[in-house]
Amino acid sequence: MSIQLPPSAAPRSAYPTDVLPAALRRRLLDLTRAGTPVSAYVYDGSVAAERARELRAALPGWAAVYFAMKANSFPGVVRALAPHVDGFEVASLTELDLALEVRPPLDGTARVVAAGPAKSVPVLTALVRAGAEAINAESLLELHRISRIAVAEGVRARVALRVNPAEIPVTGSLLMGGVPSQFGVAEPDVPEVLREAVRLPGLDVVGFHVHAASGNLDADSHAAYLRWCVEWSARTAAENGVDLRHIDVGGGIGVAFEGEKPFDVARFGELAGQVEPPAGVRVLLEPGRFLAADCGWYAAEVVDVKSSYGSWFVMLRGGINHFQLPTSWDIVHNMAVLPVDRWQEGTRPAVENARVTVVGELCTPEDTLLRDVRVDRVRAGDLVVFPYAGSYGWEFAMHRFLGHPVAERHLL
């Protein structure tokens, strides 16, 4: 049986400590004074807000930015983003409740769009009652359920049909359509589904949702993808009698790691401005990771440092039960060491100028966060800090495996 581990970081070195903002370092050192081993996320909501402002300012007026709350649902981060995004993309009752709290419905319309391949009746009912701007419907049965709920509530629910396109003729790091998936309606089935959808009494079919991009760092190809979504939606709506008002192109803007070129927001905005949606149509983008990744850090105390058959291991109070991203996404997610000078237990294990593997507290070798990274020095009692942990960090972790305490969350 193969063990899932993140790729080797060799020949990389850990980030220098000064890559961590001074305010973050102070906050983390304050946490160490509590007397319990630190394992926590710290967020700076202003960083996410600035990222949202940058993207929103680059886009044309017909574009709207909705934060995909699955990336980070910490209330402090969501509140910081609320004034700088047009709404939220939600996928659960918990996310919907938070979105409604930070952006109450206006004129009976909640500034939310809803996703999820298997929405339950309670979720759909809550979305209809909230007046969701669009429920991204994933199947014909879901359309019937939404209609039944809406009729019982005495309203018409706004829905966008999620589509799994047969092919997207765009190069770059896009994930292409046309493969079997639980997401959306396969493109060949779209006309038949639309014929029935527009006849259902509880529905207002407003447009389409296409999400076929992931982790794209190429602004040119992402703009071409946006153009394709707009043109496809306009053509399909005209062919099937849909009054098109809404096109949701999903998220997919990537976050650059070491050695990668960041996504060029200005270039993307310039190219997006050359696209001309039909009059009265809003085009939604649903960035999640792009807005939140660099607003958060995961920090864990080094419980022990030890050598085994010539290899050094840094043992953390935490691991994939708190920060599963590096292992699950098969990426090198680098870290910094924050020295902590207090030590009261006699011998203090340490390693200097060596390659180390950073592991957690779980009883499985898969609890590995970073392999073969060179450190100047790391000691028991120091903190290991992972930047770019503001998205799919706490939300994506295995909180209950072995029953260790869940990582704390703090806002700067």
Q: What is the CB neighbour count within 10 angstroms for residue 306?
A: 12
287: helix, coil or strand?
coil
DSSP state letters, 133-177 = EEEEE-SHHHHHHHHHHHHHHTS-EEEEEEEE-S-----SSPPPS
pLDDT in tens, 337-358: 999 998 878 889 999 999 999 9
Helix, strand, coil share (%) of the chain residues, nearest 5: 30, 25, 40
- Which two tokens mark 322? 């708190």
Omega within 30 of 0 (cis) for the link into 105: no
Question: Looking at residue 171, what is its pLDDT?
Answer: 61
The sign of the torsion formed by the CA atoms of 402, 405, 14, 315 equals negative
Best CA proximity match to 212, nearest among 220, 202, 197, 222? 222
Please name which of 219, 398, 232 lies closest in space to residue 319, comparing C-alpha atoms. 398
Sign of the CA dihedral running 227, 92, 118, 397 = positive
What confidence score (pLDDT) does residue 336 get?
A: 98
Tokens of residue 169, six digits? 């003729």
Q: Are the C-beta atoms of 41 and 408 separated by less than 8 Å?
A: yes
- How far CA 61 is from CA of 168, 226, 263, in Å, comes to 25, 15, 21
For the chain, the residue count is 412
Specify whether the CB–CB gap between 32 and 341 falls below 8 A.
no
Q: In this structure, how many other beta carbons lie within 10 angstroms of the beta carbon of residue 279? A: 6
Looking at residue 175, its pLDDT comes to 65
The tokens for 76 are 């402090």
Note if 363 is an active site residue: yes
pLDDT given at position 360: 95
Contact 333, 257 (CB under 8 A): yes
Task: Identify the structural domains of the chain with CATH numbers, from first to last.
Answer: 17-44+293-411 (2.40.37.10), 45-292 (3.20.20.10)
Output phi, psi for 102, to 5 deg: -85, -25
| DSSP class of 211 | -
Classify burial at 1, counting beta carbons within 10 Å of its beta carbon; exposed 0-12, middle 13-18, buried 19 or more: exposed
Tokens of 190: 């779209």
364: three-class secondary structure by DSSP: coil
DSSP of 321-347: TT--HHHHTT-----EEE------SSS
- The pair phi, psi for residue 194, each rounded to 5°, is -65, -40
Nearest alpha-carbon partner for 166 in 181, 179, 148, 153: 179
- DSSP annotation of 59 reads S
Pairing of strands 132-137, 157-164: parallel
Selecting among 108, 342, 363, 403, the annotated active-site residue is: 363
Contact, 108 vs 128, CB < 8 A? no
CA distance 25 to 19: 10
pLDDT of residue 290: 97
What was the pLDDT predicted at 402?
A: 81
pLDDT under 50 in the chain at which residues?
1
